[in-house]
Amino acid sequence: MERARVSGSGGPGKKTRNIFPEFSIMGRGKTRSALPVRRESSVGADLRCMLSLFEWSLWYASRSSVGPPLNRMGRVIAIANQKGGVGKTTTAINLAACLAVAGSRVLLVDADPQANSTSGLGLRGQHQRTLYHALAMNEPVEKIEIPTGLDGLSLVPSERNLAGAEIELVEVDRREYRLREVLEATRNRFDFILIDCPPSLGLLTLNALTAADSVLVPIQCEYFALEGVSELWDTLIRIRRSLNPTLAVEGFLLTMFDERTNLSNQVMADLRDFLGSQVFETSIPRNVRLAEAPSHGQPIILYDPKCRGSESYVNLAKEVLANGKKSAR
């Protein structure tokens, strides 16, 4: 089954997904869901949904004119969700590693002052400079990036001092465009640049979403999952309206899925109902090997290439590669 993209080259004659049914269901408050976002209907919420629907219909209609340029080198994907602990870093590290194993040149940018991508690759303390030096001191990425244990995968590391960049950038002109400008000179050296975002909608995340061609949103299979998604939509719409009119949705990724529980299955059904084909077909199972791998400083594909977690991230990488081929046509 084809998983169509929100933006890209699809003209009226091409096969595209229809996002409207999902939104109209949400706007009318119809539900198969047990999730609170659908039950707690209010005039304000309905109005917000309708405005969102309107914005998204404009977005949908304008895809062919404002989609990202075709065949551009270095697809920049921000991995973002303002909710904490949903699997952003796990996805950033393991998707980056699987893409590199598939032969792509990949740069992983750790844009989170928690520096979990840096430590998860076993590289904490192995560097002199961090993303802070690029954003706040204008140092070129080539001087900051470091190789990892995997051929084809490089890292722009992070450290706690990156939190200072958010404060220092407040005074800077075009502060939301800093990361975009920093990556511009480097994107032709890579096939993919993945940005691991912090769990907030602060300046670092805004920079990542402004620099990105698309956003990949990990969503944990839990009770409040959909509530977070509607907040995130509002943010993406605002970013697209102001900072990055070509931002596309790479896909929504279900993480920590446990097929044995009713809750996981219900959340999956709800998200597929709500977001349709924007949800990746691959979902990431809850898998203890995925949780262990960072403490060994390795992506899952090196730590335990045969486990279910590894298999699922390989499948995700295949979907992301297929998305790229579709948009390059």
Cα 105 from Cα 154, distance rounded (Å): 8
Least spacing, CB of residue 220 vs ligand ATP, in Å? 8
> Which residues ranging from 240 to 269 are in contact with ligand ATP (CB under 6 A)?
255-256
Cα 192 from Cα 59, distance rounded (Å): 24
252, containing H or E segment: strand 248-255
Token digits of residue 54: 């309107």
Cα 69 from Cα 90, distance rounded (Å): 29
Task: Out of 5, 63, 88, 286, name the contact with Mg ion by CB under 5 A.
Answer: 88
> Rule CB under 6 A: is residue 84 a binding residue for ligand ATP?
yes
> Rule CB under 6 A: is residue 148 a binding residue for ligand ATP?
no
**Region near Mg ion per CB under 5 A, out of 6-14, 112-120, 131-139, 275-283:** 112-120
Q: What mask of x and - would describe binding to ligand ATP in positions 181 to 200, judged by CB under 6 A? A: ------------------x-
Strand pairing class (146-147; 75-79)? unpaired
> Which residues ranging from 272 to 291 are in contact with ligand ATP (CB under 6 A)?
284, 286-287, 290-291
Cα 38 from Cα 30, distance rounded (Å): 8
**Region near ligand ATP per CB under 6 A, out of 6-14, 47-55, 111-119, 223-231:** 111-119
Identify what 278 binds: Mg ion, ligand ATP, none; CB under 5 to 8 Å per kind: none
Nearer to ligand ATP, 90 or 277 (CB): 90
> Rule CB under 6 A: is residue 159 a binding residue for ligand ATP?
no
> Rule CB under 5 A: is residue 310 a binding residue for Mg ion?
no
Q: What mask of x and - would describe binding to ligand ATP in positions 114 to 133, judged by CB under 6 A? A: x-x-----------------
DSSP 170-193: TTSTTGGGHHHHHHHTTGGG-SEE
The Cβ of residue 163 has, within 10 Å, a number of other Cβ atoms equal to 16
Nearer to Mg ion, 52 or 130 (CB): 130
Of 220, 207, 215, 300, residue with least CA distance to 250: 215
Nearer to Mg ion, 8 or 294 (CB): 294
Nearer to Mg ion, 7 or 130 (CB): 130
Nearer to Mg ion, 89 or 148 (CB): 89
Least spacing, CB of residue 288 vs ligand ATP, in Å? 6
Contact (Cβ atoms closer than 8 angstroms) between residue 319 and residue 294: no
> Rule CB under 6 A: is residue 145 a binding residue for ligand ATP?
no
**What is the C-alpha end-to-end distance of the chain, expressed in Å?**
18
DSSP 44-100: HHHHHHHHHHHHHHHHHHTHHHHSPPTT-SSEEEEE--SSTTSSHHHHHHHHHHHHH
CA distances from 11 to 15, 53, 68, 325 (A): 8, 20, 14, 16
Question: What residue ranges bind Mg ion (CB under 5 A)?
Answer: 88-89, 116
Question: What residue ranges bind ligand ATP (CB under 6 A)?
Answer: 84-90, 112, 114, 116, 199, 255-256, 284, 286-287, 290-291, 294, 309
